[in-house]
Amino acid sequence: MRITVARTPADLEAFRGGVVVPTMGALHAGHGALIEHASRLAGDSPVVATIFVNPTQFNESRDFDTYPRDLEHDLALAAGAGATCVFAPDVDTVYPAGRDVPVPDLPPVATEPGLEDAHRPGHFQGVCQVVARLFDLTSPTRALFGEKDWQQLAVVRAMARATHPGTEIVGSPTVREAGGLAMSSRNQRLGAADRRRASAISAALAEASRWPSSTRDAEANARRVLLENDLEAEYCVIRDAETLLEASPGRPARALIAAPLGDARLIDNAPWPGFAIPAGA
């Protein structure tokens, strides 16, 4: 399939108003599924995958420096999944010298839950800054984000409501490896033994769903599964699926886990069936 590689805002002219999939590259089958989802939604409109390793959202320069980059591989994957354009700008195009690229006001879900916001200070500032800038450059009608980064999805959804109301934010389901590990570009940093231990994270999420009558029991038992696999969680919690604050009866809830493992930091989440909304409510 033919794909256009856009490097500058002018190159994007013919591709505005379509469906956008923002990524940092190092594309894997999870991104492939996102782009396929975007193509299904797009009909005849353009499908633009953006590839930009955004320096303003990294907490550690080592993480930024070692973030995997492979544009040739990414172009082939994006084209195969149905993208019509890959926007791969350099840093000066996204952040032109001498011009301030605004950081939108952060919504409460970016600062209050004490999850990624607490463990990666400044991260959502960088994410909101680059996503708003990419939306300005591509003017999408819809933009797709993976559910694996659940708090990011909630943050971008809340931000876009305020800054880009013409862009609908669509979540796309997490794609998993055979053992249950959620696909992520950072999984490339895991050796074989760590990869086996990493599948305890999805097992812990499954365990949480076996304790639907108490958030405390669900959290404790999920944490037990992690510890049995020598994984110490940064957080392992049941929260309201939208605000990411305390879960409450009658509202959808989510189990969320973050755990460091070797050179990687893994995050994952799943719906939590407790507090289910009663049928007919």
Nearer to ligand PAF, 128 or 201 (CB): 128
**Listed ranges 39-47, 127-135, 198-206, 208-216: which one lies at the site for ligand PAF (CB under 6 A):** 127-135
Please return the burial class of 144, using the count of CB atoms within 10 Å of its CB with bins 0-12, 13-18 and 19+.
buried
Respond yes or no: is residue 123 known to be catalytic: no
Q: Does 35 bind ligand PAF (CB under 6 A)?
A: no
* CA 161, 34, 82, 50 torsion-angle sign: positive
**Listed ranges 2-10, 16-24, 186-194, 241-249: which one lies at the site for ligand PAF (CB under 6 A):** 16-24
10-38 in b/e burial notation, b at 16+ Cβ within 10 A? ebbeebbebbbbbbbbbbbebbbbbbbbb
Q: Does 130 bind ligand PAF (CB under 6 A)?
A: yes
**Listed ranges 21-29, 40-48, 173-181, 231-239: which one lies at the site for ligand PAF (CB under 6 A):** 21-29
Nearer to ligand PAF, 25 or 46 (CB): 25
Q: Does 149 bind ligand PAF (CB under 6 A)?
A: yes
In whole angstroms, what is the distance from residue 253 CA to residue 216 CA? 13
Q: Can you tell me which of 20, 83, 127, 256 binds ligand PAF, judged by CB under 6 A?
A: 127
Q: Which residues ranging from 81 to 110 are in contact with ligand PAF (CB under 6 A)?
A: none
CB of 267 to ligand PAF, least distance (A): 11
* DSSP letter for each residue of 166-224: TSEEEEEPPPB-TTSPBP-GGGGG--HHHHHHHHHHHHHHHHHHT-TT-HHHHHHHHHH
* CA 15, 89, 32, 79 torsion-angle sign: positive
Question: Taking a C-beta distance cutoff of 8 angstroms, is the pair 85, 3 a contact?
Answer: yes
Q: Does 54 bind ligand PAF (CB under 6 A)?
A: yes
Q: Does 131 bind ligand PAF (CB under 6 A)?
A: yes
Which amino acids are annotated catalytic? 31
Chain residues in the site for ligand PAF (CB under 6 A): 22-24, 54, 57, 127, 130-131, 149, 152
